[in-house]
């Protein structure tokens, strides 16, 4: 079984100091929260996302290229992962991207996307911790609000995370 890889040995998407310390400290001692790493393809990142939606496997090259695309946009994309210290695999994940507006005195809005917790780890407040970390990053980077879309069945979860229902989602698939 692979041993746990510390942040100092990883190529990360953003500075780990942006993740609120009080959120990290509330995880179990068996878990660690950090920014997505360039090598998380090998730590089951995509398997965790598969609990959310269709997630066909990618080659390492495709994964690395997507990671570099995110990283090439400064102050915009933040993905956090929760890693099991025992297995060095990803067990929870979530992302936020920041939108620059012309309105609201050049305000910024945080958009939360792709929250997923491995089935075996659901119910341990990991989803809540991921949302707390992402909203903390949103606030710390100057966003005046954080928004997301979800299914009716996930509304109670997001209410527990402090969100309220506003307006409607529209979609057009291509
Ligand atoms: N209905 C009612 N309450 C819920 C639900 C639900 N579906 N899910 C969680 N809760 C409650 C929990 O009971 C807990 O309440 P408590 O504080 O009173 O004990 C609280 O919400 C926090 O729950 P967590 O333990 O943090 O939830 P978990 O770690 O299981 O993560 C998640 C929740 C992310 C929805 C997980 O079940 C999951 O991965 N589901 C499949 C993928 C998914 O639907 N992701 C969200 C898509 S929406 C988006 O990405 C923007």
The residues pairing with 78 across neighbouring beta strands, listed in sequence order, are: 96
- How remote is the CA of residue 154 from the centroid of ligand 1, in Å? 7
For residue 55, name the pLDDT band (cuts at 50, 70, 90).
very high
Q: Which ranges constitute the DSSP H helices of 13-168? A: 21-24, 45-49, 60-71, 103-106, 126-140, 155-160
The residues pairing with 93 across neighbouring beta strands, listed in sequence order, are: 81, 116
Least Cα distance to 169 among 152, 153, 157, 144 occurs for 152
Residue 102: the pLDDT is: 98
Q: Phi/psi zone of residue 84: left (φ > 0), alpha (ψ -120 to 50 degrees), beta?
A: beta
**Chain CA centroid to CA 102, Å:** 26
- Our answer on whether the CB atom of 110 is closer than 6 Å to any ligand 1 atom is no
Rounded to two decimals, the ipTM of the complex is 0.98
- Our answer on whether the CB atom of 156 is closer than 6 Å to any ligand 1 atom is yes
Contacts of 151 (CB under 8 A, 6+ apart): none
- Our answer on whether the CB atom of 51 is closer than 6 Å to any ligand 1 atom is yes
Count of helix runs (H) and strand runs (E) in the chain? 6, 5
Ligand 1 site-directed mutation target among 84, 115, 127, 128, most atoms within 8 Å of CB:
127
pLDDT tens digits, 58-97: 999 999 999 999 999 999 999 999 999 999 999 999 999 9
What mean pLDDT, rounded, does the chain reach? 97
């Amino acid at each position: 079984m692979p041993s746990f890889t510390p942040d100092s040995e990883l190529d990360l998407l953003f500075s780990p100091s942006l993740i609120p310390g009080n959120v990290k400290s509330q995880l179990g001692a068996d878990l660690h929260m950090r920014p997505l790493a360039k090598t998380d393809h090998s730590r089951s990142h995509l398997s965790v996302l598969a609990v959310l939606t269709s997630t066909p496997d990618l080659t390492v090259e495709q994964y690395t290229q997507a990671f570099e695309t995110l990283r090439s946009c400064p102050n915009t994309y933040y993905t956090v992962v929760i890693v099991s210290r025992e297995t060095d695999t990803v067990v929870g994940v979530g992302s936020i991207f920041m939108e620059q507006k012309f309105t609201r005195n050049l305000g910024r809005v945080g958009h939360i996307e792709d929250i997923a917790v491995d089935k075996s780890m659901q119910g341990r407040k990991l989803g809540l911790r991921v949302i707390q970390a992402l909203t903390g990053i949103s606030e710390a980077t100057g966003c005046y609000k954080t928004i997301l879309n979800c299914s009716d069945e996930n509304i109670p979860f997001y209410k527990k995370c402090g969100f309220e229902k506003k307006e409607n989602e529209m979609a057009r698939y291509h």
